[in-house]
Amino acid sequence: MKRRQFWALVAPSVVVMFGFMLVPLYQTLRWSFESVNYGEAGTFIGLTNYRAALGDARLGRAVLFTVGLTVVASAFCIVFGYVLAALVNKLGRARPLVLGILLISYVSPQVVGAVAFSWLFDSNFGGIVDYLLNAVSGGAFGNPLWFTSTWPNRLIIVANVVWFMLPFAMLMILAGLQGVSEETLEAAEIDGASPLQRHLYVIIPSIRGVLGFVVLILTMDVIRVFDSLIPLAPQSLTNGNESLMVYIYRVAFSEASRNLGLGSAISVLTIILILILLFPSIRNIVKEARA
């Protein structure tokens, strides 16, 4: 390919990347050092926003909650995604239909799914899960307050995130399973490996790259959880279930101060946190690529 052709093909992507990623990133970084009022030029205030962010206990709580949610939900998605993918991989003609059904939660708007999900636990709107847990079990579960108590609320948030992200994990892993050599599997079977051993020692190592990619995407997606928490965690301000993105949104756009500068500083800190969390996955992917 000639240099001119190369740049002609690459230029649109470069322009889009610059416009939609680098400019907002630069603006966020710039505002994080400024005091910003809507519609006015910012005033440079140095590290004041960062000091305010790091001195706010709310940030610590939001980080703990978000990282915890990311670890738990990602682990669930990887484990159950693998199990589901292995099952779907065995299907014949029914596979497209089953896949289609499984993917509905992933392609539906997150906030719509979350509202419907919240109704499962809200007695005002039927609350079928709440009813089954309380009425049928005779209150054995202690009538949990799904939306105000910290841990019951965390349970439904995790469940919703898993419900939403599981199809993606399953689909990626399924694609990986399709690439596992049947000869290798047959050899393992001849060598006397049990089904579990085949999964643990043959299949999983051979799709390690795919699993790393899934972890990467899950981490990025779950750490940015936002809209689903509006219906699912209305009490997040006081019960410790405020995610980083909800915290940033409130600081920058909805609370009294509407502090874009502070919101930007927290956003920059969040980017750093995401990079730290993604470092192992990125390193593994690079290793895989070089191998």
Partner 1 sequence: MRHMRLPRSQRPVRLMAVGLLAASLALTACGAGSRTGAATATKVACDFTNPSTPTTINVLAYNSSAVDPFSNTMVASCTHDNVTVKHDPIDFAGQLEKTTATLAGDTGTYDVVETYTYAIPDLASRGKLQPLDDLYAKNKDKYALGDLDPNTLKSMTYDGKLYGLPMQSQLLVMAYRKDLFDKNGLTPPTTFEELRTDAKRLQDAEGMKYPIALPLLSTADLDTAFAAALGSQDSAFFVNPDTKKPNFTEEPTAKALEQLKSLLPYMDPQVTTFDQPKVQQQLYNGKAAVAVMFSGRMNDLVQQKNTKLYDKFGFAAPPAVFAGGKAYSTVSTDGWSIPFNTKVDKDLLFEVIGASVSQEASQASVPAAFPARTTVDQSASPYAAATKDSLAKGPTKEIQPYVPAVSEAIRPVLANYMAGKIDVPAAQQQMQAAAEKVMAAQK
- C-alpha pair distances (Å), 145 with each of 5, 130, 161: 62, 9, 19
Closer to partner 1 at the Cβ: 5 or 124? 124
Selected from 139, 179, 195, 280, the binder of partner 1 by CB under 8 A is 179
Query: Footprint of partner 1 on residues 85-144 (CB under 8 A)?
Result: 92-93, 95-97, 99-104, 106-108, 123-125
Q: What's the one-letter identity of residue 232?
A: L
Selected from 45, 155, 224, 255, the binder of partner 1 by CB under 8 A is 255
Two tokens, residue 112: 């719509």
CA 85 to chain centre: 19
Q: Is 206 helix (H, G, I), strand (E, B) or coil?
A: helix
In the complex, least distance from residue 224 CB atom to partner 1, rounded to whole angstroms: 19
Query: Footprint of partner 1 on residues 31-50 (CB under 8 A)?
Result: 38-40
In the complex, least distance from residue 85 CB atom to partner 1, rounded to whole angstroms: 11
Closer to partner 1 at the Cβ: 189 or 255? 255
Query: Footprint of partner 1 on residues 44-83 (CB under 8 A)?
Result: none
Cα torsion angle, 79, 89, 281, 30, sign: negative
CA 235 to chain centre: 21
In the complex, least distance from residue 11 CB atom to partner 1, rounded to whole angstroms: 28
Contacts of 235 (CB under 8 A, 6+ apart): 147, 148, 153, 241
Closer to partner 1 at the Cβ: 169 or 277? 169
* Spatial CA neighbour of 162 closest among 221, 211, 85: 221
Segment contacting partner 1 by CB under 8 A, of 7-15, 24-32, 171-179, 265-273: 171-179
* Spatial CA neighbour of 219 closest among 287, 173, 277, 158: 277
* Spatial CA neighbour of 268 closest among 40, 59, 61: 59
Closer to partner 1 at the Cβ: 5 or 254? 254
Strands 34-35, 43-44: pairing kind: antiparallel
Total residues in contact with partner 1, by rule CB under 8 A: 40
In the complex, least distance from residue 99 CB atom to partner 1, rounded to whole angstroms: 3
Selected from 12, 238, 290, 291, the binder of partner 1 by CB under 8 A is 238
Selected from 78, 115, 145, 273, the binder of partner 1 by CB under 8 A is 145
Q: What's the one-letter identity of residue 161?
A: V
- C-alpha pair distances (Å), 65 with each of 154, 156, 291: 9, 14, 36
Q: Do residues 141 and 133 touch, judged by C-beta distance below 8 A?
A: yes
Closer to partner 1 at the Cβ: 155 or 278? 155
Selected from 49, 110, 239, 281, the binder of partner 1 by CB under 8 A is 239
In the complex, least distance from residue 73 CB atom to partner 1, rounded to whole angstroms: 21
In the complex, least distance from residue 56 CB atom to partner 1, rounded to whole angstroms: 12
Closer to partner 1 at the Cβ: 174 or 277? 174
In the chain, the N- to C-terminal Cα span, in Å, equals 27
Residues that bind partner 1 (CB under 8 A): 38-40, 92-93, 95-97, 99-104, 106-108, 123-125, 145-148, 171, 174-175, 178-179, 234-235, 237-239, 253-258
